[in-house]
Amino acid sequence: MSTLEILMAGVIAIIGIGLYGLLITRNLIKVVVALQILVKGALLALVAAGEASGQVNLGQSLAITVIVADTVVAVVGLALAVQAKRLLGTLDVDALSTLKG
Amino acid sequence: MLYAFLVAGAAVCALMAVRAQKLLSSALWLAGISALVALTLYQLGAHQVAVIELSVGAGLVTVLFVFAISIAGDDAMSATPRIPVRLVIGLLLIFAALLGWMMLPLDGIKATGGGETLSAVLWEDRALDILVQIVLIFTGVMGVLGLLSEAAVPALGRMPAAHTTESRPAHNNGHSTPQPARALDLGAPEAQPEVADVHA
């Protein structure tokens, strides 16, 4: 297997594990962890594709944008989790149903 | 071979982060993923992004997780998932098969070359991305400020009676029910005409 194929197989594994965590967990903080894992896989895929196509710097530029967006998502998600714990007393995503019509 | 070890280590860390019972352990495994991904990026020649990923992903985000867990509590949740595990595994197998079918084999990719430096790409070719990043950061800051300030309003409505009775005068003879603090604040302008009527 070439280097790119090894990396892409790893990317599929990491994204799959992140998706598994996203589907199976009910803890709000672990949902953010699963989102972070998903983004790590996408980050690795971007740079690996850039390296394979000879445009590492383009891949790096896109990866920086992904890192910024990922960090903002983590910050907002964790603030949401902290406030949910304060107001509802639990981190269970099933408890966040007060907006149900 | 080095890439295989790094990527396999990152996948194992990801699995441990998902399977960990304690939230703190999960956050630390996530930091391990970030470190291994940063090493992989460095080996691929993306040195700047590797440093940013190591400092932001393994540093800042981990500190944020530890901070949030210290506030929210590290209580393990053993509740059963809403989606059956077999269905989740089936969906993941379909996902992996589709993604692998679309991506592999990767023989057709040719290096087209790109002699531009990162600064030229980042500040000239992808200048719109910088603006989007600025908007994202601003939105994130405003979102966090909004979330943190939103907690004060419902918390006032649910404030226990001990806080409200202390601020009330003692001439209610103990018959009136204690009102929440928000009702006290909202009722203050309405009480003004009654005082004017008494004086009249």
pLDDT given for residue A100 in this prediction = 62
Q: Which residues contact A4 (CB under 8 A, 6 or more apart)?
A: A48, A51, A52, B106, B109
Residues of A within 8 A of B18 (CB-CB) are 17-18, 20-21, 24-25, 30, 33-34, 37
Report which of A73, A81, A86, A16 is spatially closest to residue B23, judged by C-alpha positions. A81
Average pLDDT of chain A, as a whole number: 88
Whether the per-residue pLDDT at A84 is higher than 90: the answer is no
Q: Tens digit of pLDDT for each residue in B48-78?
A: 999 999 999 899 999 999 988 988 887 666 6
Nearest CA distance, A55 vs chain B (angstrom) = 5
pLDDT given for residue B167 in this prediction = 45
pLDDT given for residue B114 in this prediction = 67
How far apart CA B81 and CA B13 sit, in angstroms, is 21
Distances (CA, A) of B38 to B3, B11, B41, B112, B143: 12, 14, 5, 25, 28
Confidence band of B81 (pLDDT split at 50, 70, 90): confident
- Are the CB atoms for B145 and B170 separated by under 8 Å? no
Whether the per-residue pLDDT at B151 is higher than 60: the answer is no
Report which of B43, B50, B49 is spatially closest to residue B6, judged by C-alpha positions. B43
- Are the CB atoms for B63 and A71 separated by under 8 Å? no
Top residue of A19, A25, A53, A56 to mutate, by most chain B CBs within 10 Å, is A56
B18 closest CB neighbour out of A17, A43, A51: A17
- Are the CB atoms for B74 and A29 separated by under 8 Å? no
Confidence band of B183 (pLDDT split at 50, 70, 90): very low
Residues 11-70 of A with CB under 8 A from B: 11-21, 23-27, 29-30, 32-34, 36-37, 40, 43-44, 47-65, 67-70
Whether the per-residue pLDDT at B122 is higher than 60: the answer is yes
Please, what is the Cα angle at A50 between B104 and A2, to 5 degrees? Answer: 40
Average pLDDT over residues B133-137: 91
Q: Which residue has the higher pLDDT, B174 or B103?
A: B103
Average pLDDT over residues B27-45: 93
Confidence band of B160 (pLDDT split at 50, 70, 90): low
pLDDT given for residue B113 in this prediction = 67
Which tokens sit at B8?
């396999």
**Residue B47: is it exposed, middle or buried by C-beta count within 10 angstroms (0-12/13-18/19+)?**
middle
Confidence band of B152 (pLDDT split at 50, 70, 90): low
Please, what is the Cα angle at B144 between B142 and B149, to 5 degrees? Answer: 95
pLDDT given for residue B129 in this prediction = 86
**Across A79-88, B36-45, B79-88, least confident range:** B79-88
B118 closest CB neighbour out of A4, A27, A60: A60
pLDDT given for residue A41 in this prediction = 93
Average pLDDT over residues B130-158: 76
Q: Tens digit of pLDDT for each residue in A24-38?
A: 888 889 999 999 999
Which tokens sit at B45?
């020649």
Nearest CA distance, A46 vs chain B (angstrom) = 10
Whether the per-residue pLDDT at B172 is higher than 50: the answer is no
